[in-house]
Structure 1
Amino acid sequence: MRILLLVALLAVQPAVARTPPVQVEDATIAWVPGLVMPHAAFVRLTNTGERSLRLTGARSDDFARIEFQRPSQSAFTMWDPLSLPRLIEPDRTLTFGPDGPRMMLFVQSGRLEPGDTADIQLEFQGFDPLPVTFTVRKVSPY
């Protein structure tokens, strides 16, 4: 009887949120005049924990699809898919920026203008999604 009571109590306990140990900096969506979609998103992610982190994806209610891309090694295309997961070692930073890998945001729910914000959830293996607010700024996506 006591075992059943213990199991029942554990079943109704709220899950403990596991926030990834990440410092987020410069979460920016590049605004290009006249561009409706897609937009490039840039961010710096620093692992502040003691173990390696694996970035496995991203999602948002503001965009239908988010792709991770990197500069192409081919003369025929500018960007290639970036394979996931991306490993971030302790005390190391993964940068998504104009000159390197980036997140491409497709099919937005509304027009974006400088100063607007969009929420993107970054997904790390073994952790709850990390909500990050990105600000639309006038920066070159290239």
Structure 2
Amino acid sequence: MDNGTTNKSFGKRSEIPSDDGINSWLPLFFPAESEKVSYFINVEAGYFYISFDLEKNKGDEFIKELTTKATTEGFEFLQKKYSGVGSAWCKLDIIPEQGDGKHIFIIGKDKDKDTYYMSSISDNGKFNNTKHTENWARYCTSSNFFE
């Protein structure tokens, strides 16, 4: 029985088939060099969680792109799923398979490993300026929504 959820793992980002459902959830900034990719999608509820590893130098490059820290609530949002989160950021980006609307992502890094965690806090993937602005203010430290 299909309950609208999917849970899968891949050794590398490049091993994920082009027709795999996770591709309709991943933003442009998702690292192509990701390894040990594991994800959970709940289509009915409209959310996903993904974890992945990056080699140290690739991780350092990735973190440089993450300029907006998450609020305590944003940090705790990820920490509920991944207890190892040591720091967290927010980022706006498009999901190519969902058009031009920007989505809000919370990205965390494990405090002890080169493992990263990510989820979207966009309202079921539907762009709604009011709801997005509220979520940005709630989960992200920057007051500039369209940075």
Smaller-chain TM-score bracket: under 0.3
Structure whose CA Rg is larger: 1
TM-score for both structures, normalised by structure 1 = 0.27
Q: Which has the higher helix share?
A: 2
| Higher relative contact order, structure no. (Cα contacts within 8 Å, ≥ 6 residues apart) | 1
Q: Which has the higher strand share?
A: 1
TM-score for both structures, normalised by structure 2 = 0.27
